[in-house]
Amino acid sequence: MNIIEIKGITKVYDIKTMPFKALNGIDLSFEQGEFVAIVGPSGSGKTTLLNIMGGLDMPTEGEVMIEGVNISRLSERKKTNFRMNNIGFVFQAYNLIPVLTAKENVEFILQLQGVTPDYVEERALKLLTAVGLGDKADRRPAKLSGGEQQRVAVARALASRPRFILADEPTANLDSKSTENLLEIMEKMNREENITFIFSTHDARVMKKARRVITIEDGKVIEDVQKE
């Protein structure tokens, strides 16, 4: 079974004033364990595509199947639940809660899952250790570097045990060393836990690490290349 399958996706923004077709007939499917880069010029539709694949935004036309579930058919509440339990998101701007420590940022997501407090703490620490931040778990985001904040965001995305993670330009604000660090962590999680990663990027070095590269231009897939 494909973990994500989208068919005939079209996204039109500003339908009433000036319609703009940000996505124009996209068909894509992803299997468990893939490590995929989505590339293309700024404004080509990468963010829109990732948001639609993760159920954060709805397409104007087309179908989105995630783990065999047609999310367009779910009510808002069911969709939110489904998203929380199945999908990990990592954004360009980290989106951490500034008043919470790294550990609390991860725990927050675990608490929404209704698991026991002991488990919450243990799992949060385990995740932060996995991204190399076990010793900085009690720092707030402002006391962490950009690379470290993004690694907290990855730990948080993994908290709900999703089988896949969608990341929108996760290295856009990182220097080359932090970029390398983050990629190593993503590759390790992919290799060892078979977590699927789908990330957009502008960075040729990041793109090189992907095993599949999808190029989007003007809202269309113009190339979809599988390496190896």
Residue ranges in contact with ligand ADP by CB under 6 A: 13-14, 20, 22, 40, 42-48, 143-148, 177-178, 181
The residue at minimum Cβ distance from ligand ADP is 147
The closest alpha carbon to 223, from 61, 82, 71, 26, belongs to 26
The phi, psi pair for 6, rounded to 5°, reads -120, 140
Q: How far is the CB of 119 from ligand ADP (least distance, A)?
A: 27
* CA separation for the pair 219, 144 (Å, rounded): 36
Nearer to ligand ADP, 78 or 143 (CB): 143
Q: How far is the CB of 111 from ligand ADP (least distance, A)?
A: 26
Is 59 within 8 Å of 71 (Cβ atoms)? no
* CA separation for the pair 50, 68 (Å, rounded): 18
- Burial (CB count <10 Å: 0-12, 13-18, 19+), residue 131: buried
Nearer to ligand ADP, 45 or 67 (CB): 45
Nearer to ligand ADP, 4 or 120 (CB): 4
Q: How far is the CB of 176 from ligand ADP (least distance, A)?
A: 9
Is 188 within 8 Å of 151 (Cβ atoms)? no
Nearer to ligand ADP, 110 or 156 (CB): 156
- How does strand 20-30 pair with strand 69-70? unpaired
Q: How far is the CB of 63 from ligand ADP (least distance, A)?
A: 19
Q: How far is the CB of 150 from ligand ADP (least distance, A)?
A: 8
Nearer to ligand ADP, 43 or 117 (CB): 43
* Length of the chain measured in residues: 228
